[in-house]
Structure formats: C-alpha cells, structure tokens
Amino acid sequence: MQDPSHLHHSSWQCQILNPQPRGQGSNPQPHGITTAAVCVYPARVCDAVRALKAAGCDIPVASVATGFPAGQTHLKTRLEEIRLAVEDGATEIDVVINRTLVLTGQWEALYDEIRQFRKACGEAHLKTILATGELGSLTNVYKASMIAMMAGSDFIKTSTGKETVNATFPVAIVMLRAIRDFFWKTGNKIGFKPAGGIRSAKDSLAWLSLIKEELGDEWLKPELFRIGASTLLADIERQIYHHVTGRYAAYHDLPMS
C-alpha cells in the first residue's frame, strides 16, 4: 500500500536507474510483496519506467504534476505536464491543487481545474493533493475533498510532504468522512492517501487502524489506500529482517533510510 517517493530536489537519472541496493539476498517480490507504485517527478518518468522494466518489475510509475509542490504555474503548463507524464509511461498522476482557490472561496473554479486535470490524465489514475496544512480550516478541507471527488479524482491525498504541516489525524478524519459521505451519496469508492511525516512501521499501523475504523476492511487495499513516504520503506525492511532473523540489520545490510 506504500508509494515510495523519489522527490528530492537533487533527483537525477543515475539515482533512478541505479538506486542504492537494499536487502541484498532478500527479494520479497516473488512472494507477492511489492510497493503499490513508485512516485517520481515528471522528468524522471522515462527513467523510472526503463529501470523497472530492466529489473523485470511491473510496479506502476506515478508522477507528481501541476507545478508540484506549490501548484503556482499557468493552467496550460500544468495540463501539459500531466499529458507529458502520461505519454512517458506514468499510469498514476498526483496533482496538487491551487490553494488560493480554496482560501478565496472559488469553489467552482477549483472544480473546473480538477475536471481539466481529470481529462488530461486520460486512462491514468488521478490522485488529488489537497495540501491540507495550507487550507486554513477543517471546513475547507471537507469542501475541497468533496469537490475533488465530484470532479473525478480516484484518490484524495493529504499533502505534498513539503508543507510545514502534512498528514495529521484530525485532517484525515475529516477527509475520510467526506469519502464516506460521497460513497453513501453516489456509491463510488474514492481512495485515500496520507503523505508526509509517516516514517516508521508503527506509524503506518496507526494509519491502517484509522482506515479500518472509519471506512472498513474494503478500503484496506492498494486500490483504495496508499501511504506516501520516502523513508518508510527502509524501516519496514528492517522490521521484516528482524522478524525473520531475530536481530536488527547492520547498516551495511540495510541502511536506515
């Protein structure tokens, strides 16, 4: 259910094609254990697709877009960024909304923009990042969640991971109840993705419990629940290593991050 991200400002081709090895001698993929997708910047989509293909992996490639993380580029540029990422092989697009539209109450304009994002995605899944730490109130979080779903989002996501305040439980509860309300009204199940500040396996268990309590077991699958994180995978690997061997891995076996 994790979308490991490679969204550092210094991301470059060799880091995608030759990532630092983890867990040598232990490959969980043949046992059906994989990440849900790999998330990269638009310019790195081709590199990620090529690297995964060379490794014999069918893990989807997700791309951030629409001027991530600020969303402060012209609409035409944001739409073109989506189209180029899809052309390069991204099957999931993580867009970020223009927070100004929320803060100034321009709800129809927000709906129209997300509808255009949806159209530009084509067959690719649309995950809409609300950047909840910058929306001003929980009421705005609820309204933005509903509008994003009404406009065709497949997922709604808490944060870019770059804000001062990222995924929090109060915000998550508001978003999850919006998802539940939308499901009751339309019959459509929309996915949820918290991102930012989720660093350990214990953190992820708390989020899994929240999803189970608020939405039920049906949402506990990659099609409806993801965790966006850049360092979580390393801790999960270390916990699995400890479970299998009875000891924690040395740094040269499994780096901390």
Tokens, residue 110: 């927000």
CA 3/CA 190 separation, integer angstroms: 17
Domain count, the chain: 1
Any domain includes 23: no
Average pLDDT, the chain: 89
Average pLDDT over residues 241-255: 82
Any domain includes 165: yes
CA 60/CA 198 separation, integer angstroms: 21
Active site residues: 157, 193
- The 3-state DSSP class for residue 111 equals helix
Confidence of residue 23 (pLDDT cuts 50, 70, 90): very low
Any domain includes 250: no
Any domain includes 208: yes
Any domain includes 102: yes
Tokens, residue 215: 């939405």
- The 3-state DSSP class for residue 77 equals helix
Most confident of the following: 5-9, 70-74, 194-198: 70-74
Smallest CA-to-CA distance from 58 within 35, 88, 31, 28 is with: 35
Any domain includes 190: yes
Average pLDDT over residues 166-181: 98
CA 44/CA 12 separation, integer angstroms: 7
For residue 45, give its domain range. Answer: 36-230
Any domain includes 9: no
CA 164/CA 149 separation, integer angstroms: 25
Question: Residue 199: in which H helix or E strand, if any?
Answer: none
CATH number at residue 134: 3.20.20.70
Residue carrying the six token digits 């539209």: 101
Any domain includes 24: no
Residue 87 has what pLDDT?
A: 98
The tens digit of pLDDT for each residue in 63-105 reads 999 999 999 999 999 999 999 999 999 999 999 999 999 999 9
